[in-house]
Structure 1
Amino acid sequence: PVTRVRLQGVGHVKVHQHRPVVGKVKTVSVKREGRRWYVILTAEQTAPEPLPQTGSMVGIDMGITNFLADSGGEFVPNPRHGAKAAARLEAAQQALARCKRGSRRRRKAVEVVARLHRKVRRQRLDHAHKTALGLVREHDFIAHEDLRIRNMSKAPAPKPDPATPGSFLPNGAAAKAGLNRSIADAGWGVFLTILTAKAACAGREVMAVDPRNTSRRCPQCGHTAKENRPTQEKFHCVSCGHHAHADTVGALNVLRAGLVRREAQPA
């Protein structure tokens, strides 16, 4: 619906209201993205009612091939919004690079690039909100890996060649750059922030656990070894023979670690 907002020094401005405002409005701010303007309202609300208990607990394992796998054997596919828009973004950025600085054509090219980035960002946020909401509605307790995303995205250190002073050996920087793009495209950090916020509003419990060896430890016998994971997707315990999808095994171990940490916390 179209309504009006009064801005100091500007007057009444027509706006398209996204959704009804609930609570007492405390602050009003204005933001511009490209040619679009947004009015952002901050409202004070009463504490929301917690969701009914479901009696369900889940562990989730974040990934690249699948956005996440849960301890129940379910998978959420990775939408790869950035990768899907990469060709259009590359073409738009090349067109921008050919434009003369200060020209009208360049201003239009800048807007095209910004619009594509904005669309990818919104798609990523929409997917994160819907995935987090599904988890919060279905489970009382959610355990996830305590990921150090910034450390995971660091470029590999150069490897000096001892045989030739001043030269360097291949260090896998190109492959790591591709992995870093995939990590950024998945948006794990944004998703976990949204999940934590939604869980707090719904009266759910979210627990972060140490991710080390979660995909190498057998959920049946507890044997931990690098050989338990022969491929990226397969898990096959060399001790007891248990086999499953590696991400599902990781999610099971994350849930168990979360429950252990939960029991260890003071009442």
Structure 2
Amino acid sequence: MSTVQGRRLVQHQREGRRWYAVLACGDVPAEPLTATSSAVGIDMGVASFLTTSDGVQIDNPRYLAASADRLAALARRKRGSNRRCKAREQVAALHAKVRRQRRDHAHKTALWLVRQHDLIAHEDLRIANMIRSARGTNDAPGVNVAAKAGLNRSILDAGWGMFLAILSAKAESAGRTIIAVDPRNTSRTCPRCGHCAKENRITQADFRCVRCGYAAHADLVGASNVLRAGLARQAATAV
């Protein structure tokens, strides 16, 4: 149900037993923030929610994983029982709480970024492709299905897509620049000498260039290369 009040569209939504009023305002003027002369690249991850090119890591709160035990307990209720029906409502309410927590975290992190930096470069992630099933087909079965399914859950729990959409909206309102860059090889390329090799990644977290010996956390390397690519795109656009 929705009503129009002046320039505001008021929508009433029901989620479980709760009702929410959602306000959408038109012709809202942008409020550019004061320039900071700062640019940053961000690397999205699972172990850490994101890492910036200046070395800041934001923890991944893993809201869904934190609720996994309770969700599993509710799922064990006997089918057809009154307790099962009640448990279904509790599961829906718990998932709604996780969505609110994830959205709140995304808003706070995005606001922090746009307040600190004039330009924010991020990976142009194709999240739908990343979480596609690993099972494959009868002719071409998938490999490491269980591991891939676990990674998919972690990606969805992190809420990358929601965060990037919120970041883009806040940046536009604040007069900041957002640049999405090709994520390929960003964590395999040495930010010091430019050498790109699979062997540069010692482990998931560790990077050491086999040519020049530069060593750092792989997420920091990725964020640094994302920033460099973003600045290059901005310079090319300005020409």
Aligned partner (choices 140, 143, 154) of residue 132 of structure 2: 154
Deviations 1:202-230 (A, max 9, x none): 00000000000000100000011011111
Matched with 1:245 is: 217
Matched with 2:232 is: 260
Residues 1:233 and 2:205 aligned together: yes
TM-score by length of 1: 0.83
Pick the structure with greater CA Rg: 1
Matched with 1:40 is: 22
Matched with 1:192 is: 164
Q: How far has the Cα of 1:106 moved from its partner? A: 4.3
**Counterparts of 1:70 and 1:43 in 2: how far apart (Å)?**
33
Of 26-35 and 197-206, deviating more is: 26-35
**Counterparts of 1:246 and 1:147 in 2: how far apart (Å)?**
17
Q: Contact (CA 8 Å) 1:68, 1:76: kept in 2 or not?
A: yes
Letter in 2 for 1:129: H
Q: How far has the Cα of 1:156 moved from its partner? A: 2.1
Deviations 1:160-216 (A, max 9, x none): 7xxxxx9x8772111110110001001000000000000000000000000000001
RMSD: 2.1
Residues 1:120 and 2:98 aligned together: yes
Q: Contact (CA 8 Å) 1:24, 1:43: kept in 2 or not?
A: no
TM-score by length of 2: 0.92
Q: Residues 118, 159 of structure 1: CA spacing in aligned structure 2 closer, same or farther, 3 A cutoff?
A: closer
Q: Contact (CA 8 Å) 1:218, 1:242: kept in 2 or not?
A: yes
Unmatched segments (≥5 aa) in structure 2: none
Q: Contact (CA 8 Å) 2:120, 2:178: kept in 1 or not?
A: yes
Q: Residues 24, 55 of structure 1: CA spacing in aligned structure 2 closer, same or farther, 3 A cutoff?
A: farther
**Counterparts of 1:24 and 1:247 in 2: how far apart (Å)?**
47
**Counterparts of 1:115 and 1:71 in 2: how far apart (Å)?**
37
Matched with 1:84 is: 66
Q: Contact (CA 8 Å) 2:40, 2:53: kept in 1 or not?
A: yes
Matched with 1:3 is: none
Matched with 2:155 is: 183
Q: Contact (CA 8 Å) 2:134, 2:142: kept in 1 or not?
A: no
Q: Contact (CA 8 Å) 1:235, 1:246: kept in 2 or not?
A: yes
Residues 1:210 and 2:182 aligned together: yes
Q: How far has the Cα of 1:111 moved from its partner? A: 1.5
Residues 1:111 and 2:99 aligned together: no
Deviations 1:32-60 (A, max 9, x none): 11111122222234313200001110000
Matched with 1:75 is: 57
Unmatched segments (≥5 aa) in structure 1: 1-6, 9-22, 161-165
**Counterparts of 2:13 and 2:215 in 1: how far apart (Å)?**
52
Q: Secondary structure at the match of 2:121?
A: strand
Q: Secondary structure at the match of 1:39?
A: strand
Of 149-158 and 118-127, deviating more is: 149-158
**Counterparts of 1:40 and 1:48 in 2: how far apart (Å)?**
20
Deviations 1:19-38 (A, max 9, x none): xxxx9443222211111112
Q: How far has the Cα of 1:109 moved from its partner? A: 2.1
Letter in 2 for 1:184: L
**Counterparts of 1:123 and 1:35 in 2: how far apart (Å)?**
18
Q: How far has the Cα of 1:157 moved from its partner? A: 4.7
Q: Contact (CA 8 Å) 1:159, 1:171: kept in 2 or not?
A: no
Q: Contact (CA 8 Å) 1:25, 1:44: kept in 2 or not?
A: yes
Residues 1:131 and 2:109 aligned together: yes
Q: Residues 39, 158 of structure 1: CA spacing in aligned structure 2 closer, same or farther, 3 A cutoff?
A: closer
Q: How far has the Cα of 1:90 moved from its partner? A: 1.2
